[in-house]
Amino acid sequence: SYELTQPPSVSVSPGQTASITCSGDDLGNKYVSWYQQKPGQSPVLVIYQDTTRPSGIPERFSGSNSGNTATLTISGTQAFDEADYYCQAWDSSTVVVFGGGTKLTVL
Amino acid sequence: QVQLVQSGAEVKKPGASVKVSCKASGYTFTGYYMHWVRQAPGQGLEWMGRINPNSGDTNYAQKFQDRVTMTRDTSISTAYMELSRLRSDDTAVYYCARAGAARSSFDYWGQGTLVTVSS
C-alpha cells in the first residue's frame, strides 16, 4: 500500500520559516493537501491541490510538490501556528492516504 | 455556512457495533462526497472510507472492508458510519469530513465523536 512519510517533529523560532516535508513514491504526480490540527480540535485544511490556500488561510502558508516530496512552508511562523500537520494524497482514484503527522514546535 | 454535526460520545463493549451520524447543513448534501477518518488517542489520522450521498456508492479502506458500513439518509442530510466487531484498538475519535469541490481534499470536518471500546 502507498505510504506518506513525514518527520515526527519540526522546531522553529518565532518569525522564522518552517518547512514540513511529506515523501512518497512519485508524489509529484499526485495532488497533496495539508491539514493543521491543534489539540482537541478537528483538522483544518490549509493547502489543497499542492499549492492552493483555502479562503481564510493566511498567506504565510504555502505548498509545493515535486518529484517524491511535497513541502508545507510557513513563513514568519507564529506561536499560534504550533500544531500537528498532516499531508494527504490519493493512492488511487478511491483510496486516501495520510502522512503520519508532524508536530510543529515554535520555540 | 457549512456545518457537519456528529452524534455524541459512545462507550461500547468488545464485539459490539457502533453507529455514528453526521448531519450536514449549509450546502447541498448530495453534491459532495462524505468521508470518514479516525484518530486513535495520541495517533495520526486514518482514512476509513467514503460515500457518495447522491448514489449511495461507497469505497472502504481495505483495513475496514469487512467491518464498516457507510450509509446516508438524504431526506435528513445525514451520513452514517457503522463499525462492527469492535476491539479495544478501535477506541478513537471518528470524524466525518466533506470532500470539497476539488474532491481531492477535505474542506469541512465534523467535531468528532469519541468511541471508547472497553469491557
The per-residue pLDDT for B102 is 77
The per-residue pLDDT for B34 is 97
Which residue's entry shows cell 478537528?
A42
State the average pLDDT over residues A10-30. Answer: 96
Residue B64, φ and ψ in degrees, nearest 5 = -110, 0
The per-residue pLDDT for A94 is 85
The per-residue pLDDT for B12 is 98
Q: Of B31, B11, B16, B23, nearest to B85 (Cα)?
A: B16
CA–CA distance, A47 with B107 (Å, rounded to integer): 10
Q: Do B59 and A94 touch (CB under 8 A)?
A: yes
**For A48, nearest residue in chain B (alpha carbons):** B105
pLDDT band at A92 (very low <50, low <70, confident <90, very high): confident
State the average pLDDT over residues A77-94. Answer: 93
pLDDT band at A69 (very low <50, low <70, confident <90, very high): very high
Decide: helix, strand or coil at residue B75.
helix
Q: Looking at per-residue confidence, does A92 or B75 come out higher?
A: B75
Smallest Cβ–Cβ distance between A42 and the set B35, B102, B111 belongs to: B111
The per-residue pLDDT for A1 is 86
Q: Are B113 and B5 spatial neighbours (Cβ–Cβ below 8 Å)?
A: no
The per-residue pLDDT for B103 is 80
Mean pLDDT estimate for chain B: 97
State the average pLDDT over residues A54-73. Answer: 97
State the average pLDDT over residues B104-112. Answer: 96
b/e sequence A79-107, b meaning 16+ C-beta within 10 Å: eebbbbbbbbbbbeeebbbbbbbbebebe
CA–CA distance, B105 with B115 (Å, rounded to integer): 25
Q: Are B7 and B113 spatial neighbours (Cβ–Cβ below 8 Å)?
A: yes
User: Which DSSP letter does residue A53 get?
Assistant: P
Residues on chain B bordering chain A, Cβ-to-Cβ distance under 8 angstroms: 35, 37, 44-47, 50, 59, 61-62, 95, 97, 100, 102, 104-107, 109-112
In this predicted model, what pLDDT tens digit does every residue of B6-49 receive, in sequence order?
999 999 999 999 999 999 999 999 999 999 999 999 999 999 99
In this predicted model, what pLDDT tens digit does every residue of A23-36 receive, in sequence order?
999 999 999 999 99
In this predicted model, what pLDDT tens digit does every residue of B69-81 receive, in sequence order?
999 999 999 999 9
Q: Is the pLDDT of residue A102 over 80?
A: yes
Q: Strand A102-106 relative to strand A9-12: parallel, antiparallel, unpaired? A: parallel
Q: With contacts defined as CB-CB under 8 Å, which chain A residues touch B50?
A: 94, 96
Smallest Cβ–Cβ distance between B45 and the set A48, A86, A94 belongs to: A86
A7 touches chain B (CB under 8 A): no
Q: Of A93, A86, A98, A106, nearest to A35 (Cα)?
A: A86
**For B43, nearest residue in chain A (alpha carbons):** A100
Cα-based angle A97, B5, A33 (whole degrees, multiple of 5): 25
Residue B62 cell numbers, joined? 481495505
Q: Of A20, A1, A6, A2, nearest to A105 (Cα)?
A: A20
Q: Which of residues 32-61 of A touch B (CB under 8 A)?
A: 33, 35, 37, 42-45, 48-49, 52, 54
